[in-house]
């Protein structure tokens, strides 16, 4: 804060300087809204004199400026017609502005590091105001954008506090899947986040929870939602091409708030919120569980004698008087409970165009609904803009945040300990140190402490070299350090505690130097308007990022109390330590933009960007990404002058490409390491794991976009339509090499996929402007089709075998990339004569060998026998389904009446297939009545019980054959369900306390809000929640349920 003093002194000097130059007077006054009868004061109205901004109104619409006595002042603000007023020696002015019909037309859009008016912006971009995401506390701000932007697909697939859902713009751009079964994860392709002009990479390192090693905090979550001015989503290549490397997955620009009031304003946003446990599954408990198992055995075993023997040999069934087995424990109650949380934000801002500042202090604390999980964030963000003279501007930003995360025994996204614990038999005793259910203790007593420290400093300097020629430099340094300490007590690990510790450091240095020049010609001398306008823009970009992570696992710690320093490891075989991740990436880019428009009617943009990446193979060279876009603002055509109801209308066409880096430097150049001594010489050995790929390419996204926007009847209805074709080439995947080769794999970039689709976004204000009600209705939807276009080595198809659940992925050209490979279940055999019989042998259809138990019976699922050999085996699986949502969108309504406003946000996802692994596991538990595990009532499902039953689910009780037949196998279409849903995201009620009342207490503004979030779903999906499934559409019981959230918020402004 020390320098502010100097700046103020400087500021005073400059003002004095101007004052001497002319005869000046101080003008004060008020600006009000002339279109409403109430004459509401208008805040943040920019006041210009001679085209220069000289001040703005405060929150009460008041202003005080120092101007020449004969000046002409122009009052301008978004949504209102500008008005010019002559001062004529008056020292007090009252100015009324009428709301504008060209409201949207004046909106500016930022893309490609430039801000342009909406008319001149040729790309496909949607801006969401920060106001639209207020009132709902969130660890990750992106979760609040769900359903707000057409083509931005957000699935909040985990309720773990601070974790992010999946964010994709215009479909998936990567088809790689890591892990197996329930732990299979789609490689995320989150868009590039640009926070206040500085790109932040979101796809690096261990920032997703499933990469076990680190804490897993999203870089975008460091910005508290309350501090966001607006968020712009850039979708097509015309908008994103200048972001070049890493812009291939789309770009999201986040602008934080600025100070704009001359009088310092102190705003406080606080909220207390409750996270409620959603409906958990009901469980059969105690005696009922035992009797159910015994009944099942007696009724379904091969013989009565064998059944009795089985029951008597299973102690937890027969020994009902044993205290150890005579319980009714509700395991879920030990994990889940509602939590009470809070969120505070203090924003101090002030200043005017010449100098403004903002300081935000935020604290957010959320305890997860699962025991031992939670997320806290503390941040201190500052920015300052100093604009002493028209020619020079300096911007400084400093963002700091500390984020803490507790993940229990899980990795955040998954909490399998809770899942296995929660699925324990109710007959077992409640958790204690003597309990046998270790996963419960694990989830409850593991100490997991993760801390992420994020500091970002940015200094931007702008200087106008001469008229219309601007230069600017952006410098930013970001450092993120994360630690994770996970202590698992002795009781869990054969009486010797275990300690895992992790730390990483990531630094990014970013520099961008840019130049822009604007010039124009008049068509005829004497024309007022410039007809041919040119804009030249060029920049160079440098980025150096470094990441290193170290981890240590001390397998046998002395005792539970002594948690460090890590001592000599006794169990040297399982204790491990070292550097687990190391990247050092350099990128350099040069880019230029040429923009031309004829009377703002025809706009042509041409962008060109050249990127060099250190991870590119030496033969791949610099990557060149051009883009060209055209826009026709047809509303400006003279022949449409008669269409007075048309506010604006345009067509946009664009083509362009973007890249995103792939792989790492070792995959491009290979790796050498020091070996043992040979012949008394030190040796250097080539790592034979990966064959260097000298032409390792970055992923390239090429987009064609056709768009149309129009607004009619003074903004009563505005519509945006986009249609796109996006091709991602050079998608990275490690390719196995032939075993005759001495290398194992090569990083290949030979995969392509294509996304094409249509996006539609509309806003309507159905009520007349004179109505006391203001109703704003907006909706959007996007249809996305994704097709796999190319596989390595000219393959037409490829199956990625999943060994754990059999849920293999089928990649086939010409269809959606991530298809499931499943047994096609067509129902359940109701009776014996339904079962197909082999005409040659007279045998019914069977699985595996010739045993009596292998033949299908009534009550068994009907699987398609694809090859018609009357044997159901792995060759009978079919390609089925699409795990990616194909239609997404949302509807929003904002109704305002006097001091009250009611906002309803909804979103929907249609045409998506979910594999309900959780239900499969629930049914599967009935197949093992002699093994302990929680039984879930299945009476609400239509399953087969008697011959003649026309059921959906097969007979769960036939435990004798369940191991052979596996009727509840997870890889069948029975459990592939329609995951379409319509979600009520939030309902917000605001009440603005009348200013007359609040000012009595010295408050400028006071508003109270109540928000209920994650209220419910309309869906046909049989599981608990169609949204909290993995990005591959798998609903696993280890997932973290999405809590319902009820918030009471307070906003005060002094």
Partner 1 sequence: MKTSKSIFKIGIALCLGVLTFSSCKKNLPEERLSIANDSKYNVTVFQPVLGRSTLFNNIFQYGNSSRPLDFKIVNMRTFDGEPAPELTEHYPVLVWKGIYNGTEKSIEEIEAKRTIENHPLFDIRPHSGDFIMWASANSNMIKAQPDSGYVFDVEMSNSGGRKYFQNMRLMPLRERPYEPSNLDPITGQGTSVSVNPTSVFMAGQRGQYFNTRDDVQVLFKKTGNGNSLTIKFIDSLSNPIDPNNFDETDWENLVHGFNMKKDDKQVKYDVAYPIPLSSYPTKYTTVSGDQAHMVFRYSRMAFGNVLQKNYLTFNFKIFEKADWELTFWFKRDKPKFDND
The residues binding partner 1 (CB under 8 A) are: 632, 634, 637, 639-640, 642, 651, 653, 704, 706, 708, 723, 725, 754, 756, 787-790, 795-797, 812-815, 832-833, 835, 837-844, 850-852, 855, 866-869, 871, 875-876, 878
User: Shortest approach of partner 1 to residue 333 CB, angstroms?
Assistant: 48
With vertex at residue 308, the alpha carbon angle to CA 302 and CA 312, rounded to the nearest 5 degrees, is 135
Q: DSSP string spanning 99-124?
A: BPS-TGGG-EEEETTEEEEGGG--S-
Q: Which is nearer to partner 1, 684 or 840 (CB)?
A: 840
With vertex at residue 651, the alpha carbon angle to CA 648 and CA 653, rounded to the nearest 5 degrees, is 150
User: Shortest approach of partner 1 to residue 709 CB, angstroms?
Assistant: 13
Query: CA-to-CA distance for 391 and 469, rounded, in angstroms?
Result: 10
Q: Regarding beta strands 497-521 and 62-68, do their DSSP bridges make them parallel or antiparallel, or are they unpaired? A: unpaired
Torsion of CA 134, 139, 145, 146, to 10 degrees: -120
User: Shortest approach of partner 1 to residue 706 CB, angstroms?
Assistant: 4
Q: Which is nearer to partner 1, 791 or 936 (CB)?
A: 791
User: Shortest approach of partner 1 to residue 736 CB, angstroms?
Assistant: 14
User: Shortest approach of partner 1 to residue 830 CB, angstroms?
Assistant: 14
User: Shortest approach of partner 1 to residue 815 CB, angstroms?
Assistant: 5
User: Shortest approach of partner 1 to residue 783 CB, angstroms?
Assistant: 13
Q: Which is nearer to partner 1, 288 or 838 (CB)?
A: 838
Backbone angles phi, psi at 808, to 5 degrees: -75, 155
Helices (H), 425-553: 438-445
Q: Regarding beta strands 900-910 and 871-872, do their DSSP bridges make them parallel or antiparallel, or are they unpaired? A: unpaired
User: Shortest approach of partner 1 to residue 191 CB, angstroms?
Assistant: 22
Q: Which is nearer to partner 1, 734 or 838 (CB)?
A: 838
User: Shortest approach of partner 1 to residue 718 CB, angstroms?
Assistant: 17
User: Shortest approach of partner 1 to residue 861 CB, angstroms?
Assistant: 17
Q: Among candidates 249, 252, 177, which has minimal Cα distance to 701?
A: 249
Query: CA-to-CA distance for 1006 and 1004, rounded, in angstroms?
Result: 7
* Largest Cα span, the chain: 112
CB 537 within 8 Å of CB 120: no
Q: Which is nearer to partner 1, 711 or 918 (CB)?
A: 711
Q: Which is nearer to partner 1, 611 or 876 (CB)?
A: 876
Whether the ω angle into residue 565 lies within 30 degrees of 0, i.e. cis, is yes
Taken as a whole, the chain contains a residue count of 1054
Query: CA-to-CA distance for 765 and 79, rounded, in angstroms?
Result: 14
User: Shortest approach of partner 1 to residue 1006 CB, angstroms?
Assistant: 50
Q: How many CA atoms lie within 13 A of 691 on its CB side?
A: 15
Q: Regarding beta strands 251-256 and 192-195, do their DSSP bridges make them parallel or antiparallel, or are they unpaired? A: parallel
Q: Which is nearer to partner 1, 832 or 963 (CB)?
A: 832
User: Shortest approach of partner 1 to residue 753 CB, angstroms?
Assistant: 10
Q: Which is nearer to partner 1, 351 or 858 (CB)?
A: 858
User: Shortest approach of partner 1 to residue 887 CB, angstroms?
Assistant: 18
Please say whether the dihedral angle defined by the alpha carbons of residues 237, 239, 245 and 246, taken in this order, is positive or negative.
negative
Q: DSSP string spanning 322-339?
A: -TTT-----THHHHB--E
CB 215 within 8 Å of CB 454: no
Query: CA-to-CA distance for 917 and 423, rounded, in angstroms?
Result: 14
Return all residues near 872 (Cβ < 8 A) that are at least 6 apart: 823, 845, 846, 847, 856, 863, 865
Q: Which helix (H) or strand (E) holds 292?
A: helix 287-300
Q: Which is nearer to partner 1, 367 or 631 (CB)?
A: 631
User: Shortest approach of partner 1 to residue 747 CB, angstroms?
Assistant: 23
Q: Regarding beta strands 497-521 and 913-915, do their DSSP bridges make them parallel or antiparallel, or are they unpaired? A: unpaired
Q: Which is nearer to partner 1, 336 or 856 (CB)?
A: 856
Q: Which is nearer to partner 1, 878 or 987 (CB)?
A: 878
Q: Which is nearer to partner 1, 306 or 796 (CB)?
A: 796
Query: CA-to-CA distance for 1039 and 185, rounded, in angstroms?
Result: 13
Query: CA-to-CA distance for 365 and 270, rounded, in angstroms?
Result: 12
SS3 49: strand
Query: CA-to-CA distance for 215 and 486, rounded, in angstroms?
Result: 10
Q: Which is nearer to partner 1, 411 or 972 (CB)?
A: 972
User: Shortest approach of partner 1 to residue 506 CB, angstroms?
Assistant: 39
Please report where in the chains the tokens 């009795």 appear, as a residue. 308
Q: Which helix (H) or strand (E) holds 734?
A: strand 717-736
Return all residues near 374 (Cβ < 8 A) that are at least 6 apart: 161, 339, 365, 366, 367, 368, 404, 405, 406
Exposed, middle or buried: residue 246 (CB in 10 Å: 0-12, 13-18, 19+)?
Answer: buried
Q: Which is nearer to partner 1, 653 or 964 (CB)?
A: 653
Return all residues near 96 (Cβ < 8 A) that are at least 6 apart: 31, 32, 33, 34, 39, 83
User: Shortest approach of partner 1 to residue 189 CB, angstroms?
Assistant: 20
Return all residues near 994 (Cβ < 8 A) that are at least 6 apart: 899
User: Shortest approach of partner 1 to residue 636 CB, angstroms?
Assistant: 12
Q: Which is nearer to partner 1, 642 or 674 (CB)?
A: 642
Q: Which is nearer to partner 1, 542 or 878 (CB)?
A: 878
CB 877 within 8 Å of CB 821: yes
Q: Which is nearer to partner 1, 684 or 852 (CB)?
A: 852
Query: CA-to-CA distance for 723 and 336, rounded, in angstroms?
Result: 45
Q: Which is nearer to partner 1, 681 or 850 (CB)?
A: 850
- Angle 287-300/304-312 helices, nearest 10 degrees? 150
User: Shortest approach of partner 1 to residue 760 CB, angstroms?
Assistant: 14
């Amino acid at each position: 804060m020390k320098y502010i003093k100097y700046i103020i002194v400087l500021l005073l000097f400059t003002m004095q300087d101007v004052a001497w130059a002319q005869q000046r007077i101080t003008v004060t006054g008020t600006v009000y809204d002339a279109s409403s009868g109430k004459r509401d004061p208008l805040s943040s109205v920019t006041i210009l004199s001679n085209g220069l901004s000289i001040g703005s109104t405060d929150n009460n619409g008041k202003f005080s400026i120092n101007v020449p006595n004969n000046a002409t002042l122009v009052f301008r603000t978004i949504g209102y017609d500008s008005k010019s007023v002559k001062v004529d020696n008056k020292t007090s002015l009252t100015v009324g502005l009428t709301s504008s019909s060209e409201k949207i037309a004046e909106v500016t859009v930022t893309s490609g590091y430039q801000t342009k008016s909406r008319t001149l912006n040729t790309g496909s971009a949607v801006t969401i105001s920060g106001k639209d995401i207020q009132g709902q506390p969130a660890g990750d701000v992106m979760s609040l954008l769900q359903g707000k932007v057409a083509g931005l697909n957000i699935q909040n697939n985990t309720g773990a506090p601070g974790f992010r859902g999946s964010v994709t713009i215009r479909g998936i751009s990567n088809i790689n899947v890591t892990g197996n079964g329930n732990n299979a994860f789609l490689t995320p392709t989150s868009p590039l986040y640009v926070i206040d002009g500085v790109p932040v990479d979101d796809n690096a390192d261990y920032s997703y929870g499933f990469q076990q090693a680190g804490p897993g905090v999203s870089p975008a979550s460091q910005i508290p939602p309350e501090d966001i001015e607006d968020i712009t989503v850039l979708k097509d290549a015309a908008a994103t091409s200048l972001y070049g490397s890493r812009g291939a997955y789309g770009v999201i620009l986040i602008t934080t708030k600025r100070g704009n009031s001359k009088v310092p304003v102190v705003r406080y946003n606080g909220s207390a919120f409750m996270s409620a446990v959603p409906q958990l599954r009901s469980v059969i408990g105690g005696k009922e569980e035992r009797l159910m198992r015994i009944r099942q055995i007696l009724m379904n075993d091969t013989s009565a004698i064998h059944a009795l023997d089985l029951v008597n040999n299973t102690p937890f069934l027969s020994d009902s008087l044993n205290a150890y087995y005579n319980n009714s424990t509700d395991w879920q109650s030990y994990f889940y409970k509602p939590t009470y949380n809070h969120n505070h934000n203090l924003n101090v801002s002030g200043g005017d165009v010449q100098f403004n500042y903002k300081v935000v202090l935020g604290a957010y604390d959320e305890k997860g609904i699962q025991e031992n999980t939670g997320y806290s964030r503390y941040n201190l963000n500052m920015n300052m803009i100093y604009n002493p003279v028209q020619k020079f501007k300096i911007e400084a930003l400093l963002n700091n945040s500390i984020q803490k995360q507790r993940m229990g025994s899980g990795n955040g996204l998954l909490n399998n300990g809770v899942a296995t614990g929660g699925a324990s038999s109710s007959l077992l005793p409640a958790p204690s140190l003597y309990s046998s259910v270790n996963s419960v203790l694990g989830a409850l007593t593991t100490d997991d402490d993760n801390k992420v420290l994020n500091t970002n400093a940015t200094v931007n300097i702008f200087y106008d070299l001469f008229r219309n020629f601007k230069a600017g430099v952006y410098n930013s340094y970001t450092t993120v350090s994360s630690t994770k300490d996970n202590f698992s007590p002795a009781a869990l690990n054969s009486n010797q505690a275990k300690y895992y510790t992790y730390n990483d450091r990531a630094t990014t240095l970013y520099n961008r130097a840019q130049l822009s020049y604007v010039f124009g010609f008049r068509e005829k001398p004497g024309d007022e308007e410039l007809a041919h306008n040119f804009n030249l823009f060029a920049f160079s970009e440098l980025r150096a990022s470094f990441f290193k992570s170290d981890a240590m696992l001390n397998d046998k710690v002395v005792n539970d109390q002594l948690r460090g320093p890590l001592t000599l490891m006794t169990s040297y075989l399982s204790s491990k330590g070292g550097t687990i991740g190391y990247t050092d990436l350099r990128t350099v880019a040069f880019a230029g933009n040429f923009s031309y428009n004829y009377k703002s009617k025809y706009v042509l943009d041409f962008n060109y960007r050249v990127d060099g990446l250190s991870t590119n193979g030496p033969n791949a060279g610099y990557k060149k990404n051009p883009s060209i876009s055209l826009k026709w603002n047809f509303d400006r055509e003279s022949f449409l002058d008669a269409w007075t109801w048309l506010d604006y209308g345009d067509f946009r066409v664009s083509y362009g490409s973007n890249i995103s880096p792939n792989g790492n430097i070792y995959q491009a150049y290979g790796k050498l390491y020091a070996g043992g001594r040979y012949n008394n010489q030190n040796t250097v050995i080539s790592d034979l794991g990966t064959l260097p790929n000298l032409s390792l390419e970055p992923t390239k996204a090429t987009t064609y976009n056709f768009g149309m926007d129009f607004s009619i009847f003074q903004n009563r209805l505005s519509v945006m339509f986009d249609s796109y074709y996006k091709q991602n080439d050079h998608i990275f995947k490690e390719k196995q090499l032939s075993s005759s080769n001495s290398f194992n794999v090569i990083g290949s970039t030979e995969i392509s996929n294509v996304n094409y689709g249509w996006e539609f976004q509309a806003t309507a204000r159905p009520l007349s402007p004179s109505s006391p009600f203001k109703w704003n209705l907006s909706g959007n939807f996007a249809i996305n089709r994704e097709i796999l276009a190319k596989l390595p080595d000219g393959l037409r198809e490829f199956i990625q075998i999943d060994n754990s659940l059999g849920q293999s992925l089928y990649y086939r050209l010409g269809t959606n990339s991530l298809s499931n490979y499943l047994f096609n279940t067509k129902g359940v055999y109701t009776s014996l004569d339904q079962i197909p019989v082999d005409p040659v042998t007279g045998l019914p259809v069977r699985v595996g060998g010739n045993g009596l138990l292998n033949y299908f019976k009534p009550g068994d699922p009907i699987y398609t026998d694809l090859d018609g050999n009357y044997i159901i085996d792995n060759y009978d699986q079919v390609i089925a389904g699409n795990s990616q949502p194909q239609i997404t969108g949302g509807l929003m309504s904002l109704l305002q009446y006097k001091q009250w406003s009611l906002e309803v946000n909804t979103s929907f996802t249609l045409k998506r297939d979910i594999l309900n692994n959780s239900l499969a596991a629930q049914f599967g538990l009935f197949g093992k009545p002699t093994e302990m595990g929680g039984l879930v009532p299945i009476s609400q499902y239509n399953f087969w019980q008697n011959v003649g039953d026309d059921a959906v689910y097969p007979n769960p009780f036939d435990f004798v054959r369940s191991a052979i037949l596996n009727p509840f196998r997870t890889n069948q279409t029975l459990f592939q369900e329609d995951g379409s849903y319509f979600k009520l995201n939030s309902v917000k009620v605001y009440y603005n306390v009348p200013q007359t009342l609040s000012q009595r207490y010295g408050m400028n503004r006071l508003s109270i809000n109540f928000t209920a979030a994650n209220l419910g779903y309309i869906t046909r999906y049989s599981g608990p929640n169609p949204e909290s499934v993995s990005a591959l559409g798998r609903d696993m019981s280890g997932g973290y349920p999405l809590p319902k959230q009820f918030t009471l918020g307070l906003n005060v402004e002094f």
